[in-house]
């Protein structure tokens, strides 16, 4: 307690006891950075890619008692400015020492947000680039925009052994102008990101002197530049006069029958920990940890150097590092609880992203309904969902991540993709084989966004098995005399190679994660079904430079036995990676995955041939997946929802109660 200015006593809220899975605090990040600087002794030359929570082993987490002391450690990746390779290891924050440190000479750190503008500055300062800009009739360098792209693993003069950004160029007509409407085609710069030396300026049109014109039609989205807007609709408010039904204590959320912990990392962004559902007073675990562990965006054109557009937005940039602060009433609607995120800058200093995580409730429509035509009675129930979300901007594109928990036990992930499509210049009106001309002289190339969810399952405990379920129709004959029979055939996936699977529409294939040690009231194994509506067919050749690095995209399902060091489906260090340390290599060992602690990896995404409607800003499109209870409950888990009628709802005609 502390005295207020008027002499009264102000009661301070009790601090939330630390949990082993709580993200690092600002003080812990600062302490880890000091330990690292003292340990390596490189001064300002020490650059910090990652300081994240080193998650304790599962036994420690499961055995934790609220209020008990918590040992804290951090994972780190650091490197020396101007030199190749990284050090990776652990810091014991309690002992104040580096306990594990390994130098990896061939690994390359991801790009840091601070480096984006430094790469642009290096390119624009090069006389060769300045001359190439002048040749195109552009006389103001301050209006030129140079976007840094990771360089992949392509052959390029002077690039071997270096951490390289390969850049693409646009221009503005004025300060607030949408520069993606004005691509500067055929001009690229390769920059060494460790030294910011320009390796090459590739002016592909210089030899012939034939330039694709820079399209200059203004196509803007900033409200200050638009000429008027449509008449606004009448307000639609989400009103919760008694506040929300969830309770947030630190990073733990309790809502209806659900409880979980929210985490966040600079690489993955949002993380859900220890998701459980309470039934009849018994808390039943479902997920130990869930995240979107990687994503890749391959572009499908061989024209020019656009084949180099193949970026891993998580592993090469850091999905969480680029998260935004969210704005009440705009990004988030209703009664909102925000969580700040604490990350770090390139020197290891703590960096706070205020209101980076949004937690709220939404109406989810009808839960169930039935009208008995004999008694003429209707029973109707509505359902809600809890929403945990964050939004990341990677250059031109916004990725809006939403985790939904429904009252019926369903867990859903939805990615809402918006922002600005990546553009290139073309001859206006010319036929386009690998894209769409979205405005005169502006092309959006065909591409894909392929994500990989890492689902560390624990359905009623850690002993889980994945079962593949195919629907088959027996041939017409003695066993199927009318030709109407079809049934589901189940097959347990017992090893890693057997569990490399793809969707099959002809068999209406799905997978379920079951616990054969726990039985429902009709004797079946309890489980959750993985619904895969956004499975994507990849078109990268697996033998090509991009395909080799993105092996996870070639199956929609992978299953591995849990290992703490198998965290990212395309590998730990993605920048200039070869694809060797990734799901294809891990699963080639063909380890058993039956009745054990397993991780399910699901690849899904968006297949995107741009439309005219996607320019200048793309209306959001969605993809995702669901985990739906199947035999987990002994009946409809929503049968006990109370009768309720929303008294705030109004009609143009009188109406009776819908619930009786």
- Residue 1 pLDDT exceeds 50: no
Angle between the 127-135 and 113-125 helix axes, to the nearest 10 degrees? 70
- Residue 14 pLDDT exceeds 60: no
Instruction: Return the residue matching tokens 């988030």.
Output: 332
**Cβ distance 104 to 86 under 8 Å?**
yes
Whole-number CA gyration radius for the chain: 27
Span 113-203 CATH architecture: Roll (3.10)
Tens of pLDDT along 194-250?
Answer: 999 999 999 988 767 788 999 999 999 999 999 888 999 999 999 999 999 999 999
Whether 402 sits among the annotated catalytic residues: the reply is: no
Q: What is the C-alpha to C-alpha distance for residues 219 and 116, in angstroms, rounded to an integer?
A: 25
- Global pTM reads 0.95
Determine which of 136-145, 223-232, 284-293 has the lowest per-residue pLDDT on average. 223-232
Structure tokens that stand for 560 in this block = 């591995």
Residues of the chain with CATH 3.10.450.40: 16-104, 113-203
Q: What is the C-alpha to C-alpha distance for residues 552 and 40, in angstroms, rounded to an integer?
A: 35
Band the pLDDT of 6: cuts 50, 70, 90.
very low
Instruction: Return the residue matching tokens 């509505």.
Output: 382
pLDDT at 652: 74
Q: Which of 313, 408, 581, 614 is catalytic?
A: 313
- Residue 12 pLDDT exceeds 80: no
What's the topology of domain 247-629? Beta-galactosidase; Chain A, domain 5 (2.70.98)
Which residue in 644, 629, 635, 642 sits closest to 280, CA to CA? Answer: 635
SS3 content of the chain, % helix, strand, coil (to 5): 10, 40, 45
pLDDT at 650: 86
Whether 397 sits among the annotated catalytic residues: the reply is: yes
Tens of pLDDT along 484-493?
Answer: 999 999 999 9
**Cβ distance 378 to 366 under 8 Å?**
no
Residue 385, SS3? strand
Q: What is the C-alpha to C-alpha distance for residues 457 and 602, in angstroms, rounded to an integer?
A: 12
E strand or H helix at 413: strand 411-419
Residue 528 β-bridge partners: 513, 629
Band the pLDDT of 398: cuts 50, 70, 90.
very high
pLDDT at 210: 80
- Residue 295 pLDDT exceeds 90: yes
% of the chain beyond a pLDDT of 70: 96
Q: What's the Cα-to-Cα distance from 8 to each of 2, 5, 11, 12, 14, rounded to whole Å?
A: 8, 7, 10, 13, 18
**Cβ distance 634 to 475 under 8 Å?**
no
Across 160-268, the runs of DSSP E, i.e. the strands, are 164-171, 183-184, 187-192, 197-203, 247-249, 252-255, 258-265
Q: Which of 307, 397, 434, 554 is catalytic?
A: 397
- Residue 471 pLDDT exceeds 90: yes
pLDDT at 659: 57
Tens of pLDDT along 144-202?
Answer: 999 999 999 999 999 999 999 999 999 999 999 999 999 999 999 999 999 999 999 99
What's the topology of domain 16-104? Nuclear Transport Factor 2; Chain: A, (3.10.450)
């Amino acid at each position: 307690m502390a005295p207020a200015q008027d002499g009264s006593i102000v009661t301070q809220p009790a601090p939330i006891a630390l949990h082993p899975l709580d993200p690092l605090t600002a003080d812990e990040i600062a302490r880890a950075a000091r330990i690292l600087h003292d340990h390596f002794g490189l001064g300002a030359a020490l650059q910090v890619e990652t300081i994240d929570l080193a998650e304790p082993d599962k036994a420690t987490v499961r055995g934790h008692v609220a209020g008990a002391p918590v040992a804290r450690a951090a994972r780190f990746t650091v490197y020396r400015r101007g030199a190749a390779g990284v050090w990776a290891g652990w810091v014991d924050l309690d002992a104040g020492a580096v306990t594990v440190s390994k130098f990896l000479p061939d690994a390359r750190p991801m790009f840091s947000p601070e480096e984006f503008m430094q790469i642009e500055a290096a390119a624009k300062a090069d006389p060769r680039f300045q001359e190439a800009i002048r040749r195109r009739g552009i006389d103001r360098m301050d209006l030129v925009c140079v976007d840094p792209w990771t360089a992949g693993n392509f052959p390029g003069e002077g690039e071997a052994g270096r951490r390289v950004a390969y850049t693409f160029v646009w221009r503005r007509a004025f300060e607030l102008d949408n520069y993606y409407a004005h691509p500067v085609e055929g001009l690229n710069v390769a920059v060494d990101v460790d030294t910011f030396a320009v390796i090459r300026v590739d002016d592909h049109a210089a030899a012939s002197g034939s330039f694709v014109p820079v399209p200059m039609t203004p196509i803007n989205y900033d409200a200050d530049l638009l000429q008027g807007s449509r008449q606004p609709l009448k307000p639609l408010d989400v009103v919760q006069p008694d506040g929300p039904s969830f309770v947030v204590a630190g990073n733990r959320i309790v809502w209806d029958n659900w409880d979980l912990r929210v985490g966040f990392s600079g690489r993955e962004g949002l993380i859900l920990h220890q998701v459980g559902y309470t039934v009849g007073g018994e808390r039943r675990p479902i997920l130990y940890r869930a995240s979107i562990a990687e994503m890749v965006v391959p572009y499908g054109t061989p024209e020019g150097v656009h084949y180099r557009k193949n970026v891993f937005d998580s592993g090469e940039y850091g999905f969480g590092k680029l998260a935004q602060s969210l704005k009440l009433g705009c990004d988030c609607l209703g009664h909102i609880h925000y969580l700040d995120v604490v990350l770090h800058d390139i020197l290891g200093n703590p960096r706070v992203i205020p209101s980076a995580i949004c937690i709220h409730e939404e109406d989810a429509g009808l839960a169930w309904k039935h009208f008995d035509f004999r008694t003429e009675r209707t029973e109707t129930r509505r359902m809600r969902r809890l929403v945990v979300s964050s939004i990341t901007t990677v250059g031109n594109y916004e990725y809006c991540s939403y985790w939904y928990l429904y009252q019926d036990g369903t867990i859903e992930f939805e990615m809402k993709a918006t922002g600005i499509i990546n553009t290139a210049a073309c001859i206006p009106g010319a036929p386009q084989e690998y894209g769409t001309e979205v405005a005169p002289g502006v092309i959006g190339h065909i591409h894909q966004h392929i994500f990989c969810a890492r689902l560390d399952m624990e359905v009623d405990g850690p002993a889980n098995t994945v079962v593949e379920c195919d629907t088959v129709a027996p041939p017409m004959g003695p066993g199927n005399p009318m030709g109407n029979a079809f049934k589901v055939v189940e097959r347990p996936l017992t090893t890693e190679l057997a569990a490399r699977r793809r969707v099959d529409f002809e068999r209406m294939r799905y997978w379920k994660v079951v616990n054969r040690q726990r039985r429902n009231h009709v004797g079946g194994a309890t489980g959750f079904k993985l619904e895969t509506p956004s499975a994507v067919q990849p078109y990268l050749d697996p033998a090509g430079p991009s395909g080799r690095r993105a092996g996870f995209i070639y199956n929609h399902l992978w299953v591995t036995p849990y290992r703490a060091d198998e965290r990212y489906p395309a590998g730990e260090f993605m920048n200039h990676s070869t694809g060797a340390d990734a799901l294809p290599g891990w699963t080639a060992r063909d380890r058993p995955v039956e009745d054990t602690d397993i991780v399910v990896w699901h690849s899904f995404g968006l297949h995107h041939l741009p439309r005219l409607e996607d320019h200048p800003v793309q209306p959001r499109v969605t993809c995702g997946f669901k985990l739906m209870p199947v035999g987990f409950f002994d009946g409809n888990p929503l049968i006990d929802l109370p009768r309720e009628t929303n008294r705030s709802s109004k009609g143009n005609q009188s109406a009776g109660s819908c619930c009786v």
